[in-house]
Chain A
């Protein structure tokens, strides 16, 4: 049990996918303008990451490794994630229209989110067991959520402050992102292996 807690907390803080591993920067900058869109995107990412890692783990273990096709991981995982997101979208539309509407455009956007592919590949690289892979992915999703929500708060503050003309818009956002990232490096070495 302790292992799993450390794994999840590590994925959130020490190995934060956005701020430490720099994966999924596009949605991080794209949808962090407002808090509510940030939350919508995060929920969708947590959801897809967890399911995708479970499916890709099974696929890798029972199909790719068995036939010695490890080198096809990237392309096979992309295929799985894209199909999975489409499937989830179709099902959500039918089963829970309110959730579908609140996730909106963010669900299909995740298809091309490198954080989702990244977590699937890291799971395999580190040779996690199935349960560990799923909990690590869930933690990674939570880490993405934390980063996005924190940064949405930062950006809302930037909106109301007096920014020099030449830094308005994306430049000040990138600088702020760098500073938040530096802050997260403070978590390095939180857990000793």
Chain B
């Protein structure tokens, strides 16, 4: 008898709680849309937040709720967009593939330093000190804030200038936010040429500071047959939508600030040229 009462009380409590919980979980059941879990599975799972949501979970919920577009995940690209479209039964739509590109060419040898910087190796910190050690106040500081934030190892610093490895770039846009100089831009993968300079200084000042900067001479605008280059102030800009990738501008550029990038990723290469 001494044994039965305690065992039955503890056992009884266990059974009561068990039944109570089973009942509560039925009574308070929260219906989760099964599509959310399915979409979550096909997403890359980097939780990078490039879609504008809190992460892959938020994005999957957003799609089911109709707040996000199926092609909203830049990392997954077309493949993932198609898979998601299959799950929710919508059209995948067209998605232009993009890549980040560092719009500066001023390597250690071509762009001088105005002072010797010995602070912590961080672009933002350096930029706060008289705009950074680089002679050009618009140029890359080469301390690699973008390298640090890139979750895909797609950026390297070579000779004092950051460089995007387009094969690895997923166009999540984190580097763009991390760059204090705002010299990283998102361009279509199929754009072969870009003006690798962001300096708004007058031509003569650019010439003094950097040997590969855009001096705003306007030669490229004249040679371009489709008017895809426009001169704003003393800086040439290529309009990606119009550019035909003919490469005439590179040939006439006196400083070599218009550079050619690898096009191997572009599936339209054949049609263009």
- A interface, CB within 8 angstroms of B: 59, 63-64, 67, 69, 72, 75-76, 79-80, 83, 86-87, 90-91, 93-95, 97
Contact = CB atoms under 8 A, between A and B. Distances in A.
Contacts of A87: 20-21, 24
B46 to A, nearest CB: 21
Contacts of A91: 24, 28
Interface in B25-58: 25, 28-30
Contact of A72 (B9, B17, B25, B30): B9
A90 B24 contact: yes
28 contacts: A59-B13, A67-B5, A67-B6, A69-B5, A69-B9, A72-B6, A72-B9, A75-B10, A76-B9, A76-B10, A76-B13, A79-B10, A79-B13, A80-B13, A80-B17, A83-B17, A83-B20, A83-B21, A87-B21, A87-B24, A90-B21, A90-B25, A91-B24, A91-B28, A93-B30, A94-B28, A94-B29, A94-B30
Contacts, number: 42
B22 to A, nearest CB: 10
Given A63-B9, A83-B20, A87-B24, 5 more contacts: A79-B17, A83-B21, A90-B25, A94-B28, A97-B30
A185 to B, nearest CB: 39
B233 interface: no
B9 A67 contact: yes
Contacts of A79: 10, 13-14, 17
Given A76-B13, A80-B13, A90-B28, A69 B6 contact: yes
Interface of B: 5-6, 9-10, 13-14, 17, 20-21, 24-25, 28-30
Contacts of A75: 10
Main SS at interface, chain A = helix
A74 to B, nearest CB: 11
Contacts of A64: 9
A177 B254 CA distance: 65
Contacts of A63: 9
A39 to B, nearest CB: 19
A72 B3 CA distance: 12
Please name the 5 residue pairs, one residue from A and one from B, whose CB atoms are nearest each other, closest first.
A83-B17, A94-B28, A90-B24, A90-B28, A69-B6
B20 to A, nearest CB: 7
A56 to B, nearest CB: 11
B53 to A, nearest CB: 14
B163 to A, nearest CB: 32
Nearest to A88: B24
Nearest to A91: B28
B102 to A, nearest CB: 30
Nearest to B24: A90
Contacts of A59: 13
A175 B25 CA distance: 44
Contacts of B25: 90
Contacts of A90: 21, 24-25, 28
Nearest to B16: A83
